[in-house]
């Protein structure tokens, strides 16, 4: 049975991704900063949990040691900033730590096994707000961090062998705690493309950016 790690998987889109991968036959590990919330979420969908603060490289290293290798990594954890990007350095640091540095360190630790085993899938949950084609429209540093995550996707896909596929996706505007009550999409609708990318066959794409299983502009 293949193993998958979903960061920020204790609610919203992350939980929907975790459930979808469990239903697809994966052994799923939910990475959660709040252990109790992670345990409750994991019990709901039939997953396991590992305590993981993606903003802390030491926590990442400890989580990797505790859970071992995985075949699929879904970098879903995120934070939403507010205000002017240049006026809020603390917000900038937090966004980059969670949505760029965390995915980088997880990929650093977990992709060597994927390379060695000849199979791996990395899904970076990004956003149209991080697309240059849309003007990096995210609030404060959110869009900047997602744009950097997109760049990491392209660079790492170019570096890794074809057996390890790395892609970014935009879930759209989803009704979650972050997305708000006015959002038109369900977490399951937002999760669908991530699940598709996590389960790509050997001829699937790598180094792309997708929404609703369709390529979109960076």
Q: Catalytic positions, please?
A: 142
Which run of H or E residues covers position 95?
helix 89-96
DSSP letters along 138-192, please? Answer: SSTTHHHHHHHHHHHHHHHHHHS-TTEEEEEE---SB-STTT-TT--B-HHHHHH
Q: Which residues of 158-186 are buried (b: 16+ CB within 10 A; e: fewer)?
A: eebeeebbbbbbbbbbbbbeebeeeeebe
- Cα–Cα dist 195/53, whole Å: 23
Cα torsion angle, 8, 67, 96, 156, sign: negative
- Cα–Cα dist 191/131, whole Å: 19
DSSP letters along 8-58, please? Answer: TTTSHHHHHHHHHHHHTT-EEEEEESSHHHHHHHHHHHT-EEEE--TT-HH
């Amino acid at each position: 049975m293949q193993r998958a790690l979903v960061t920020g998987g204790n609610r919203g889109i992350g939980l929907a991704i975790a459930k979808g991968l469990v239903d697809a036959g994966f052994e799923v590990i939910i990475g959660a900063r709040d252990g109790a919330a992670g345990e409750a979420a994991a019990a709901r969908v039939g997953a396991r949990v590992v305590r993981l603060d993606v903003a802390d490289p030491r926590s990442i290293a400890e989580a990797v040691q505790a859970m071992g290798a995985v075949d699929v990594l879904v970098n879903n954890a995120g934070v939403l900033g507010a205000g002017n990007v240049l006026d809020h350095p603390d917000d900038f640091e937090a966004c980059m730590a969670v949505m760029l540095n965390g995915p980088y360190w997880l990929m650093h630790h977990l992709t060597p096994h994927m390379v060695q085993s000849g199979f791996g899938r990395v899904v970076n949950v990004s956003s149209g707000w991080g697309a240059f084609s849309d003007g990096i429209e995210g609030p404060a540093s959110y869009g900047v961090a997602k744009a950097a995550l997109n760049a990491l996707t392209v660079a790492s896909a170019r570096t890794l062998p074809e057996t390890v596929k790395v892609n970014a996706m935009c879930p759209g505007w989803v009704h979650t705690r972050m997305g708000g009550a006015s959002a038109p999409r369900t977490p399951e609708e937002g999760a669908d493309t991530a699940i598709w990318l996590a389960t790509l066959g050997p001829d699937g794409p790598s180094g792309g950016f997708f929404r609703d299983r369709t390529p979109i502009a960076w």
